[in-house]
Structure 1
Amino acid sequence: MGSPTYTVSMWFRKILVPVDGSENSMRALELAVDFSLRYGSRVTVFYACDRCSDKETIQKLVREKIEDRIDYDFRVADVPRDSSTSNEIIKVLSEGVFDAVIMGARGNTTNSDINTGSNALSVVVNAPVTVIVVR
């Protein structure tokens, strides 16, 4: 078998993690932190908000989850009326800076029967990079 290779580290050098405070998005963040610790991935946490008054609350949740284990960037985008959260995520990914996105399967939707939300589906279909969906 030979010594381990770290090909994975090249696939995940820069990871975008969209968060909304939901349990699934926090699990996605935990996976991204693990990738960072194992492979040296650079993590950017992204909050696309229509109620940006929640920004401090989301930042606090992120800080508590990361606990100074890694350095990360935190970006916020106000979602315009003629756009959507998934469009804003795709827009950031289209900048060509990221190798992958790790996101929760569904956010704070009220319908618990839905396994995968519309934002995750849209990102999976339209993202120009690898997408890992966390349940």
Structure 2
Amino acid sequence: MSSPTYTVSLWFRRILVPVDGSENSMRALELATDFSLRYGSKVTVIHVCNTCEEAEHVKKKVEERIGDKIDYDFKIIKMSNDSSVPNEILKVINEDTFDAVIMGSRGTSVNSDINIGSTVLSVAANASITVIIVR
């Protein structure tokens, strides 16, 4: 039996995690944290918002979930009225050199019958990097 290789660490050097405060986005954050601990991945957490009234609450949830387990960047992306959350996430992906994005399958939408949200569908369909969807 050969020794394990860590090729996967090259696939996940820089990870983007969009969060909205939902439990699914927090689970995506936990997976990114695990990748960081196992493979040394650099994690960037973003919160895209229009009015950004909830941004500090979301940031606090991120801090509570990660604690001081890993070193990460947290960015608040304020979008204009003529943009959308998926567009802003894709813009961040395209403007930087991320290897993967890890997202919750659905955000804070009211309809719990939906298994996968429109934001993650749009990002998964249009991102030029690996997209991991966490349920």
Q: TM-score, normalised by structure 2?
A: 0.98
User: What does residue 87 of structure 1 align with?
Assistant: 87
Question: SS of the residue aligned with 1:111?
Answer: coil
Size of the aligned set, in residue pairs, is 135
Deviation of 1:97 (Å): 1.3
Instruction: Structure 2 unaligned segments of length 5 or more: list them.
Output: none
User: What does residue 113 of structure 2 align with?
Assistant: 113
Alignment partners' CA distance in 2, 1:16 and 1:24: 15
Per-residue deviation, residues 4-42 of structure 1 (Å, max 9, x unmatched): 000000000000000000000000000000000000000
**Identity across aligned pairs (percent)?**
65
User: What does residue 24 of structure 2 align with?
Assistant: 24
AA at the equivalent of 1:131 = V
User: What does residue 123 of structure 1 align with?
Assistant: 123
Deviation of 1:99 (Å): 0.4
User: What does residue 55 of structure 1 align with?
Assistant: 55
Question: SS of the residue aligned with 1:94?
Answer: helix
Per-residue deviation, residues 22-71 of structure 1 (Å, max 9, x unmatched): 00000000000000000000000010011312111011000000010000
Deviation of 1:79 (Å): 1.6
AA at the equivalent of 1:49 = C
Q: TM-score, normalised by structure 1?
A: 0.98
Alignment partners' CA distance in 2, 1:91 and 1:61: 24
Instruction: Structure 1 unaligned segments of length 5 or more: list them.
Output: none
Per-residue deviation, residues 78-102 of structure 1 (Å, max 9, x unmatched): 1211110000000000114100000
Cα RMSD, aligned residues only: 0.7
User: What does residue 100 of structure 2 align with?
Assistant: 100
